[in-house]
Amino acid sequence: MSELLQTAPAALPWENNPVLAVEHVFMRFGGLIAVNDLSFSVGRGDITALIGPNGAGKTTVFNCITGFYKPTQGMLRLQHASGATFLLERMPDFRISAKARVARTFQNIRLFSGMTVLENLLVAQHNPLMLASGMTVLGILGLPGYRRAEHEAVERAKYWLERTGLTPRADDPAGDLPYGAQRRLEIARAMCTGPELLCLDEPAAGLNPRESAELNALLLGIRETEKTSLLLIEHDMSVVMEISDHVIVLEYGTKIADGTPPEVRNDPRVIAAYLGVDDREVEVVEERLDQIVEGAAT
Amino acid sequence: MAADDTANKHGPDIAAAVKDALLSGLVALALFGPLIGLRTEQNMRNELVIQSRWGLVAAIIAVIVIGRFLMLTLVSPALARRRERVSATPEHPSALRQALGKWFAPASIAFLFLYPILIVSLLGFQGSLKWVDNFGIQILIYVMLGWGLNIVVGLAGLLDLGYVAFYAVGAYSYALLSSHFGLSFWILLPMAGIFAALWGIMLGFPVLRLRGDYLAIVTLAFGEIIRLVLINFRELTNGSAGISSIPKVTLFGIPFDASPGGFAKMFDLPLSSAYYKIFLYYLILLLALLTAFVTIRLRKLPVGRAWEALREDEIACRSLGINTTNTKLTAFALGALFAGFAGSFFAARQGFVSPESFTFMESAIIVAIVVLGGMGSMVGVALAAVAMIGGTELLRELAFLKTIFGDNFNPDQFRMLIFGLAMVGIMIWKPRGFVSSREPTIFLAEKKAISGSLVKEGHG
């Protein structure tokens, strides 16, 4: 399979050695088809945006990628830069984060609100710390190996606190932070797991324009310094168009557009589906669509 | 409530208070008139005769009317003023409170070590028995059980209503293995703990998919199953008759008895049963401190943080690569381990175990200790154990009240009533338990207590 992919000349930049390839994924809930034969690729080192109107199935796709749902059908192939390949649809959710190194944030923020900011970042480093504490046994005895590991973990947490501007609030409970800071903390927490692919579910929701601009800078910085690929769901078009390299548009669980931001922005189907049209304009748009389809056929 | 509000602004509103008090009197009359005022009794010919007790009813109503009036005119305004004053001053702990928080735990541990010496020097060996055994040992067993359950309920947020099952496993492990195979307490103590932990894992596996109320009900059922097995598996456990004459604990081979090799003879002391009790006291104190030490250590290790994270948000835990099943199982197993230790100590101390000792009531008391103490707080749980167990023991000491209320008065019978009242009171004034704030496990610049309102109770 991989040979086939490598030998075939890649038409699009993100098809070339993608970090994540979603292939013919279906997700059915009883009679409802939430995701219908979806295929796309997330380019390595790209910022890929998944957009679409409410209920289009974006979060369902996320939940399939991060293992919270098992897709009814289809394949999700994740490949590290080192070449290790993981079939995500076959892995339980916690192993997807631990082994395949896919981290995610949530649409409705899920922090450990009764724990401090620093503790949140240390929980994210659970697996390496658990190993260092000898599965707790050596840790109880207080051996120096664990203390060193914890010190490193704190250093890593400090680094991300600095990056997200949360250092002054490190010892405050996460639930006490303002909304924007909670969003940033969730990203910092996800980054503390050292992910290959970071999935962000509406990171700019509820942010004011300044915070939104800061978020853009943070995400671009993450891609720059950590070489992490980003996949984000977003409604805020300023974020999507400014920072993403590749945009995928979903409607009713089906992909209706896939391309660079300018391509997608000018796609009439996207305009119709995503931005919505007035009732009066429906006919006009349908006419235009018909013309496009005819044009494509001829 | 409306009357309260006006009273706050303009001082006590006498007319409204009088009206309110009379209304309460009317309600009380409707309630207590038939309930207390009329009473049927059988006479010699087996006929029911109505007796009226209007004097008593009048007294009760008078108490209610006057009480309500005083409540509205004096108590509520005072409380409101206090509330205003408290909300006006920003919350920051005084130096005294900070010192108290810092020194309370070491000071109480020192006191616990000195307690038997203090009691013996005050009351002599014979007089000390009751205070060391009924108060000291009894309370410390529950402190240990509370701390053990605190791992499961307080840290991991898994409501376990069948905790006493693991206590029973520990007790029966010691009782059976020591009386059948003659193994010593020091070998059986860890074994009992390990058996209980294995049961914790075995019971844990099927139930960990459940959450919240469902988990609570299934663990409750497991507690009952273990008790019913102990009653019905007569060949092994001797049924409800229990197992008696369980060997005592020895001090590394030195028995506490009158034999020539016994403790008293060996050290040339006069014979007394107090030595054994004091020895048991120190044993359970050390076991309880071991529990505390391990729990405090674990909280600062990744597994402890994972427990607390699990209590806060399980889905986020899974998204961070934490194996939630294993994490829950370790919490269950460790909680059960300490219950097993406590159980084997209990069997050795009593010399007798029967299923009677492991009823749901015990589980409920332990859960109440953890909740009352403030979930997750070691000091709070210890205080709650002292209040709950020490309180019930104290009620036995109230025999002098018989001189006031007559010979039929038995303060023991009021135990549950007082319990209930105390619980309701605590839930009103301290809804998150005695110690409601959470202490962070690590800090960069400054250690700040986390308000209980942010900490979640767990959901399954």
Q: Model confidence over A15-29: pLDDT tens digits?
A: 788 888 888 989 988
User: Which residues are within 8 A (CB) of B277 and not within 5 positions of it... i.e. 6 or more apart?
Assistant: B128, B129, B132, B133, B137
Which among B297, B330, B445 is the nearest to A171, CB-wise?
A: B445
Q: Are A105 and A234 in contact (CB under 8 A)?
A: no
CA distance readout (Å), A155 to A125, A135, B76, B179, B419: 12, 21, 53, 55, 49
A129 vs B: CB within 8 A:
yes
Q: How far is CA A74 from the centre of its chain?
A: 19
Domain end marker among B61, B88, B115 = B88
B328 and B372 inside one domain:
yes
> Residue B342 maps to which CATH number?
1.10.3470
The pLDDT of residue B166 is 94
* Chain A 144-173, residues with CB within 8 Å of chain B CB atoms: 146, 150, 154, 158, 167, 170-173
How many domains does chain A fold into? 1
Residue with tokens 């800090």: B443
In a domain, A283, yes or no: yes
Is residue A206 a part of any domain in this protein? Answer: no
* Shared-domain flag, residues B109 and B80: no
At B66 the pLDDT is: 92
Contact state of B302 with A126 under an 8 Å Cβ cutoff: yes
Q: Is residue B333 part of a domain?
A: yes
Q: Is the Cβ–Cβ distance between B73 and B17 less than 8 Å?
A: yes
Q: Please report residues of B whose CB lies closer than 8 A to that of A143.
A: none
> Rounded CA gap, A197 and B399, in Å?
72
What's the confidence (pLDDT) of residue A4?
44
Examine the domain organization and report whether B120 and B73 are in the same domain: no
What confidence score (pLDDT) does residue B6 get? 44
Q: Which domain holds residue A291?
A: 267-298
B171 with B299, same domain: the answer is yes
The verdict on residue A251 lying in a domain is no
Q: Are B275 and B263 in contact (CB under 8 A)?
A: yes
Where a domain ends, among B30, B57, B88? B88
Domain enclosing residue B133, as ranges: 104-396
Contact B455, A116 (CB under 8 A): no
Q: Are residues B306 and B341 in the same domain?
A: yes
How high is the ipTM of this complex? 0.84
Q: How confident is the model at residue A7 (pLDDT cuts 50, 70, 90)?
A: very low
Burial A1-15 (b: 16+ CB within 10 A, else e): eeeebeeeeeeeebe
| pLDDT of A205 over the 50 cut | yes
Decide if A133 and B445 are in contact by the 8 Å CB cutoff: no
Domain boundary residue, one of B88, B116, B142: B88
* Closest CA of chain A from B307, distance in Å: 10
Residues 6+ apart with CB under 8 A from B407: none
Give B312's contacts in chain A (Cβ within 8 Å): 111-115
Res B450: pLDDT: 79
In a domain, residue A140? The reply is no
B181 with B293, same domain: the answer is yes
| Interface test with chain B among A116, A156, A198, by most B beta carbons within 10 Å | A116
Residue B327 lies in a domain: yes
How many CB atoms within 10 Å of residue B39? 12
pLDDT digits (tens, 9 = 90+) for A246-293: 888 888 888 888 888 888 888 888 877 766 655 566 666 667 767 766
Q: Do B214 and B328 belong together in one domain?
A: yes
pLDDT confidence of residue B439:
83
* Domain annotation covers residue B230: yes
User: Which tops the pLDDT comparison, B7 or A91?
Assistant: A91
Is B451 within the bounds of a domain? no
pLDDT, mean over chain A: 83
Residue among B319, B330, B440 minimizing CB distance to A97: B319
* A139 at B interface, C-beta within 8 A: yes
Pairs of CB atoms within 8 A across A/B: 142
Low-confidence ranges of chain B (pLDDT < 70): 1-12, 87-94, 258, 260-261, 271, 399, 459-460
Question: In the structure, what pLDDT confidence band is assigned to residue A1 with cuts at 50, 70 and 90?
Answer: very low
Total domain count for chain B? 2
Residues B243 and B171 in one domain: yes
Assess if residue A224 is contained within a domain: no
Judge whether B402 lies within some domain: no
According to the model, what pLDDT value does residue B12 have?
A: 64
Alpha-carbon gap, residue A179 to A185, rounded angstroms? 10
Residue A118 touches chain B, beta carbons under 8 Å = yes
**pLDDT at residue number B90:** 54
Cα separation, B368 vs B159, in Å, equals 12
Q: Are residues B252 and B124 in the same domain?
A: yes
Helix/strand/coil for B98: helix
Look at residue A296 and tell me whether its pLDDT is greater than 70: no
Q: Which of B319, B320, B456 sits opposite A114 (nearest CB)?
A: B456
Whole-angstrom distance, CA of residue A216 vs CA of residue A204: 9
pLDDT above 90 covers what percent of chain A?
Answer: 14
Check residue B225 and give its pLDDT.
Answer: 92
For residue B3, the model assigns a pLDDT of 45
Quote the tokens at residue A135.
């599965």
Give the chain A residue nearest B443 (alpha carbons): A171
Domain-located, residue A253: no
Q: Judge whether B456 lies within some domain.
A: no
Which residue from A116, A130, A142 is facing B303, i.e. has the nearest CB?
A: A130
Same domain, B228 and B322: yes
- The owner of tokens 């309260």 is B4
Residue B231 counted as domain residue: yes
Contacts of A154 in chain B (CB under 8 A): 442, 444
Residue of A nearest to B323 (CA): A94
Predicted pLDDT at B80: 84
**Are B227 and B271 within one domain?**
yes
pLDDT value at residue B397: 74
Q: Nearest-CA distance from A115 to chain B in Å?
A: 7
> For A133, which of B302, B440, B455 is closest by C-beta distance?
B302
Q: Which residues of A touch B447 (CB under 8 A)?
A: 171
Which of the 8 DSSP states describes residue A1? -
The confidence score (pLDDT) of residue A297 equals 62
Whether residues B109 and B79 fall in one domain: no
Question: Hey, are the CB atoms on A171 and B443 less than 8 Å from each other?
Answer: yes
Q: What is the pLDDT of residue B10?
A: 53
* d(C-alpha B375, C-alpha B154), whole Å: 4
Domain assignment of residue B427, yes or no? no
Q: Which of B291, B149, B294, B334 is nearest to B223 (CA)?
A: B149
pLDDT at B459: 61
| pLDDT tens figures, A224-250 | 888 889 999 988 777 788 888 888 888
